Each structure stands twice: as structure tokens, then as C-alpha cells.
Amino acid sequence: MLIRPPLLLRLALFGVIACAALTMLPRSAAFAAPAMAIYRGDAPAAAGAGRRIELRLKADGTMSLISDYRNNKAPITEDGHWNPISVEAIDVIIERKDGVAVGPNTLHFVKQGDVLQTTAESAAQFGSQGLQLRQTKAAAPPTAAPVVGTANATGSWRWEGLVSSADKLAIEQPERYTLDLQGGGKALVRADCNRGQAAYKFDGRAIAIRISGMTKVACPPGSLSERYLKALESAVGQRIRGDNLFLDLAGGGGTMKFARAR
């Protein structure tokens, strides 16, 4: 006669089997979270076939870089987060290696169509030709950061720089170029030695800014006052990453980067 074990014993046995199954999951199970975009490519090596690299940029701002050295060993996984620097560039920040914290290592990429290419600053880590990764899964481009609302963008911001395909500008005195987004679509603007007001409107990720009532003081030579105001009025898109606000400019004008004022 078959003797059935008690119910509690059967549940305990099921739990042991389930835990054992979880520990045997392949490394790829770590990437079950939906990915925004997947890029793959090969990094050459002085000897051998080199390594196969897969980069996953996720919608929540995190990323995974998986390197298969083709040596019959498990791939190495590096995790961290990624930041859109402009409509044509992103930074990938590595913070963990196979789950162990490491000193942050930033990789700089430029985007050309469906290809990510390391810049000169990061190319040396992958040989003389750098690293080129091609998008393999149709998804939103890296520049499509999570939608943010007006409540997150309100507050005072300092202009830190402008990045475009033709120029890279760093602001030496960001406290002299500010944008204070207030409630009700109103804003206060400081452009070096001039101050004024603006009206702004959000529509999802889109933004429109109109400057009004600026003072007309003649600023010292080298001032970026006029350029700053023109850039603000050409902004068409906005996104927030941590304590940074990015404004994308129309017509390939690049991206303005702001830091939240403390």
C-alpha cells in the first residue's frame, strides 16, 4: 500500500526543490527585466577570437555589459547605469563586476544610426579600433529616457554645458546662468548680467520656453548671455536623470545640461 507523506512534509520538500532550481538558473536569467535596447559586437584581441560583448540599456536607467571571452568559461557581467549626454552620445557607468562593487568606470559612446561607437576617451580599453556595437532588438533609442512630469522639473537649475555634434561647451560659472521653473508655467531666468522671466509648457517629454521681460545690460566680453537665451527658446525636449536636467534643442542644436541648484 502506498503511504503518502503528511501535507507539511510534502510542502517542505517542494520548497527545497524550488530553491535548488533557482540556484541552477543560467546567468541569462539575471536579464529578465525588460530592456530598452540591446547592442552586440566583438572586441578584437591580440591572440585568439577576442570577446563577444552584449550591452543592455534598460528603461529604468540601469545597464548590463556581458563579455564572453570564448574560453569555455561563464561570461563576465558588469552592471551599473547609463546617462544620455546628448541626442548622439551616452555614458555607460560600470559599478559592479559579477555582483561585486568596483570603482566606477565610465565608457563614452557616440550613436550613429543603430551603432554605438566608443569615443577616443574609451577606445583604448578595447584595442586600437575601439568597440563598435550594433543594435539587435527593435526598441526605443537610448535618448528616450523615462517621461518626467512638471513636478519633478520644478525648481532652480544651473546651466553646466552644451553638447552637440559640432561643439562641446562647458560653463565656467554655472551660477550665472540659471533657470528657475516655478509652478503654473512660469520661470525666472538669469543670463549672466541680465535677468528676466519666461513662460514654459510641458507636453510629455516636449517643452516650449518663451523668454520675456529681460533686462538689457551690456555684459562683459565673452559672456554667453545671448547664446543661452536663444538656446532656451529653441528647446523642444526635456528629461531628468538624477539631479540633472537635459534640454534637447531643435534642428540638431545639441543638448543643454543643467544641474539642480543646492
In this prediction, residue 257 carries a pLDDT of: 94
pLDDT at 151 over 60: no
Residue type, position 8, single letter:
L
Q: What is the DSSP string of 70-117?
A: SSSSPPEEEEEEEEEEETTEEEEEEEEETTEEEEEEEEEEEEETTEEE
**Spatial distance between the Cα atoms of 86 and 258, rounded to a whole number of angstroms:** 12
Closest CA to 133 of 62, 57, 194, 220: 57
Phi, psi of 68 (to 5 degrees): -105, 110
Closest CA to 46 of 133, 129, 107, 108: 129
In this prediction, residue 4 carries a pLDDT of: 52
In this prediction, residue 12 carries a pLDDT of: 47
Q: Residue 75 in contact with residue 27, Cβ under 8 Å? A: yes
pLDDT digits (tens, 9 = 90+) for 32-79: 344 568 899 998 776 666 789 999 888 778 889 999 888 777 788 898
Q: Which domains does the chain have, with CATH numbers?
A: 31-135 (2.40.128.640), 150-260 (2.40.128.270)
Closest CA to 161 of 257, 29, 260, 17: 257
pLDDT digits (tens, 9 = 90+) for 89-141: 899 999 888 888 887 899 999 988 889 999 988 888 887 778 999 998 544 44
pLDDT at 258 over 70: yes
pLDDT digits (tens, 9 = 90+) for 185-228: 999 999 999 999 999 998 888 899 999 989 999 999 999 999 99
**Spatial distance between the Cα atoms of 35 and 258, rounded to a whole number of angstroms:** 27
pTM above 0.75, yes or no: no
**Spatial distance between the Cα atoms of 215 and 195, rounded to a whole number of angstroms:** 6
